[in-house]
């Protein structure tokens, strides 16, 4: 049920971890929204008009006004629908820390996760895997064994990290690499289970099998495009 009668639309794609972030945030706030899916390989006129600078998803349209970039959108959602459960901490220092770790994950986790999939050699793949395992150990320390990084409820860091769980599981299937380890990162393993099962998450988190099939389609299209050029 929507918390108000605002017109809310989200331009995105089901497989994108960055699009998943505002989807989870909107679900946490119980905001109804229309999901406008972009087709791979093309950009809609609405997307180009709404995000003329980067021309990328996601874009939130709130009463016709666009907001771009996944983390900025999540913060916007938290501010606009402020009466619902908070996503960012109220304490300024804790809020700054949440932003820091979310930025850290964007810098260290996603590029190396992508690197595992696109590695041209076993050496490149192993280097990316080593980086990911270092990040996982770091985030294990940050979690402090709590249910969520935000405490008892899903927060900003949970959304930033959890949005990539589908692809992390897909990598396990495709590359045989387990990024969250019960021995080295037991807290993260439990966190991932709780995050994935949360009502705000479970219906929007892509299944690993579907992402594997999607990855195969992407790879085939890239090879075709490379061959034709």
Confidence tier at 119 by pLDDT (50, 70, 90): confident
Rounded mean pLDDT, 187-200: 97
121 three-state secondary structure? coil
In-domain check, residue 112: yes
Whether residues 40 and 133 share a domain: the answer is no
pLDDT digits (tens, 9 = 90+) for 27-48: 999 999 999 999 988 999 999 9
Q: What DSSP designation does 155 have?
A: -
Q: Which phi and psi angles does 12 have, rounded to 5°?
A: -170, -160
**In contact, 133 and 184? CB cutoff 8 Å:** yes
What is the C-alpha to C-alpha distance for residues 216 and 48, in angstroms, rounded to an integer?
A: 27
- Sign for the CA dihedral angle at 20, 193, 177, 133 comes to positive
Domain end among 51, 80, 109: 80
Whether residues 53 and 76 share a domain: the answer is yes
62 three-state secondary structure? strand
In-domain check, residue 220: no
pLDDT of 229 > 70? The answer is no
Confidence tier at 117 by pLDDT (50, 70, 90): confident
What is the C-alpha to C-alpha distance for residues 197 and 219, in angstroms, rounded to an integer?
A: 30
pLDDT of 1 > 50? The answer is no
Q: How far separated are the first and last CA of the chain, in Å rounded?
A: 49
Whether residues 205 and 98 share a domain: the answer is yes
In-domain check, residue 198: yes
Query: What is the model's pLDDT at position 3?
Result: 47
Boundaries of domain holding 184: 92-210
In-domain check, residue 86: no
In-domain check, residue 167: yes
What is the C-alpha to C-alpha distance for residues 75 and 52, in angstroms, rounded to an integer?
A: 21
CATH number at residue 97: 1.20.1050.10
In-domain check, residue 218: no
Token pair 């195969």: residue: 216
The structural domain count of the chain equals 2
Query: What is the model's pLDDT at position 199?
Result: 97
pLDDT of 69 > 60? The answer is yes
Confidence tier at 161 by pLDDT (50, 70, 90): very high
Whether residues 177 and 100 share a domain: the answer is yes
Whether residues 98 and 206 share a domain: the answer is yes
Confidence tier at 224 by pLDDT (50, 70, 90): low
Query: What is the model's pLDDT at position 109?
Result: 95
Whether residues 14 and 74 share a domain: the answer is yes
Whether residues 109 and 62 share a domain: the answer is no
In-domain check, residue 229: no
pLDDT digits (tens, 9 = 90+) for 16-28: 999 999 999 999 9
Token pair 């990162």: residue: 185
What is the C-alpha to C-alpha distance for residues 119 and 202, in angstroms, rounded to an integer?
A: 30
Confidence tier at 177 by pLDDT (50, 70, 90): confident
pLDDT of 221 > 80? The answer is no
Angle between helix 92-118 and helix 122-143 axes, rounded to 10 deg: 160
In-domain check, residue 221: no
Confidence tier at 2 by pLDDT (50, 70, 90): very low
Question: Which has more confidence, 223 or 213?
Answer: 213
Whether residues 177 and 68 share a domain: the answer is no
Whether residues 154 and 55 share a domain: the answer is no
Whether residues 97 and 181 share a domain: the answer is yes
What is the C-alpha to C-alpha distance for residues 157 and 177, in angstroms, rounded to an integer?
A: 23
Query: What is the model's pLDDT at position 222?
Result: 62
Query: What is the model's pLDDT at position 40?
Result: 84
**In contact, 25 and 102? CB cutoff 8 Å:** no
CATH number at residue 76: 3.40.30.10
- Sign for the CA dihedral angle at 120, 38, 192, 152 comes to positive
């Amino acid at each position: 049920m929507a918390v108000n009668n605002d017109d809310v639309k989200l331009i995105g794609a089901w497989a994108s971890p960055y699009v998943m972030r505002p989807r989870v945030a909107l679900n946490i706030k119980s905001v109804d929204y229309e999901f406008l899916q972009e087709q791979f390989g093309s950009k809609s006129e609405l997307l180009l008009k709404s995000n003329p600078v980067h021309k990328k998803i996601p874009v939130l349209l709130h009463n016709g006004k666009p907001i771009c970039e996944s983390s900025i959108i999540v913060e916007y959602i938290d501010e606009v629908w402020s009466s619902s459960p908070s996503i960012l901490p109220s304490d300024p220092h804790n809020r700054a820390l949440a932003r820091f770790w979310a930025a850290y994950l964007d810098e260290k986790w996603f590029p190396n996760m992508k690197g595992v999939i696109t590695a041209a050699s076993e050496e490149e793949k192993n280097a990316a895997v080593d980086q990911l395992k270092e990040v996982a150990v770091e985030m294990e320390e940050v979690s402090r064994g709590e249910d969520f990084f935000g405490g008892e409820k899903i927060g900003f860091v949970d959304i930033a990290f959890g949005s990539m769980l589908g692809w992390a599981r897909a990598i396990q299937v495709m590359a045989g690499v387990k990024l969250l380890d019960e021995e080295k990162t037991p807290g993260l393993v439990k966190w991932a289970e709780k995050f994935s099962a949360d009502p705000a998450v479970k219906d929007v988190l892509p299944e690993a099998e579907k992402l594997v099939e999607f990855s195969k389609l992407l790879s085939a299209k890239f090879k075709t495009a490379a061959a034709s050029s």
